[in-house]
Structure 1
């Protein structure tokens, strides 16, 4: 690649999708935790509608979406970031105080979490780690970016 070549434009994070063991229970959990709204109709799986469907949740303020998938032939068991596939999903927040606000919110909901972890290694950031009903690791993440 030469200095005159550039990659195509990249926008912001749009959505993530996870296969879940109980799509309705997971949808209710994500709606409660993130305050997202369910798209009224389920989405058939792209290019394989007979294999299952997804329930899609959207945050109207940010446009972030979460797809929760049910597969007809899925293999159940808790998510494990040590297996090949998804390690975790991280949601950025604009201030360090927002991480603490999320910790308080999760406490009110009775959801176990790591607490706000501040570190300088390898760069300064703060992360709050918790897990969904299928053990998918989620993070609330703050990193001060220079102007």
Structure 2
């Protein structure tokens, strides 16, 4: 059996319907800034990163995009999960998201909605969606 070095996530790449609106939203919500454009056949990608380049998000727009919203029930991305230190951080994130147009709802099932915090045995989880309905999660490990 061969041994390979461990990997870490380098970046998250998402296809969006409106590149400029998504760049603004992700910049505001995750405190990442555009660092470069990546032209590609049929579209443009924009790389956003935090100051240390520890969080990098690539947003892509394709000219053939028909404007349909994302749905985790089809093949492709189900959701992207991010970690925070504890449940108190999730409570702060609820307010932070609300200031950026992500309204509180009984369930995060539409663009720009957030669910209540779910306290599970393994973690507390806050689910929310961007304007393209891409499901995002904040995950606080259970404190045992």
Q: TM-score range by the shorter chain?
A: 0.7 to 0.9
Higher share of residues assigned strand: 2
Q: How much does 1:134 deviate? A: 0.3
State the alpha-carbon separation in 2 of the partners of residues 79 and 137 from structure 1: 8
1:34 alignment partner in structure 2: 30
- 1:25 equivalenced with 2:21 (yes/no): yes
Q: Distance in 2 between matches of 1:108 and 1:53?
A: 28
Contact 1:13 1:64 in 2 (8 A): no
Choose which of 123, 133, 136 in structure 1 pairs with 2:134.
Answer: 136
Gapped runs of 5+ residues in structure 2? Answer: 104-113
TM-score (norm 2): 0.84
CA distance in 1, matches of 2:143, 2:5: 21
* 1-structure distance, mates of 2:37, 2:28: 19
Q: Does 1:111 align with 2:102?
A: yes
Please give the secondary structure, in 2, of the residue aligned with 1:55.
strand
How many pairs are equivalent?
134
Q: Is the 8 A contact 2:86 2:143 kept in 1?
A: no
CA distance in 2 between counterparts of 1:109 and 1:44 reads 28
Secondary structure in structure 1 of the residue aligned to 2:25: helix
Give the greater-gyration-radius structure (CA). 1
| Counterpart selection for 2:63 from 57, 61, 72 | 72
- Whether contact under 8 Å (1:118, 1:126) holds in the other structure is yes
Contact 2:25 2:100 in 1 (8 A): no
TM superposition shift of 1:61: 4.2
Across the aligned residues of Structure 1 and Structure 2, the Cα RMSD in angstroms comes to 1.8
Structure 1 gap segments, 5+ residues each: none
In 2, distance between residues paired with 1:96 and 1:138?
16
Alignment of 1:51 with 2:42, yes or no, is yes
